[in-house]
Amino acid sequence: PVSVGMSMDIASIDTISEINMDYTATIFLRQRWMDERLCFDGNKSLSLDGRLVEMLWVPDTFIVDSKRSFLHDVTVENRLIRIYPNGTVLYAIRITTTVSCSMDLTKYPMDKQTCTLQLESCKT
């Protein structure tokens, strides 16, 4: 198994829809793991073009309860791949996602809602 470290920043919460019971957010997702096959001599990291991600193994992370999501691609895909000499890979992407959120509006306007943003990975 590969141990993957993950961090996420929420850039914005764009909409909250009581009618559709969902919210839309833009996030920056960063994942880090070690791939010994990518070790190289040197003391500086290499930043790769985002299009090269097709040639690397990346975690199969997905957003639980996502109704729709997209990766930003203006003017190029918003992906960062950085490889460090010891084989550590940093993979960062910008995603906008609309996620289901079951809301209890019975106490409106004095209600309080808790919406989660969960990430998981498929295990094979």
Strand 79-83 to 88-100 pairing? antiparallel
Query: How many angstroms separate the CA atoms of 29 and 4, rounded?
Result: 12
Q: Looking at residue 33, what DSSP letter applies?
A: E
Q: What is the mean pLDDT of the chain?
A: 92
CATH code assigned to 4-101: 2.70.170.10
pLDDT band, residue 124 (cuts 50/70/90): low
pLDDT in tens, 30-59: 999 999 999 999 999 999 988 888 899 999
The pLDDT value recorded for residue 52 is 85
> Residue 110: which residues within 8 A CB-CB, separation 6 or more?
none
Taking CA atoms, 80 is separated from 3, 22, 101, 108, in Å, by 19, 29, 30, 43
Domain definitions of the chain by residue range: 4-101
Phi, psi of 53 (to 5 degrees): -60, -25
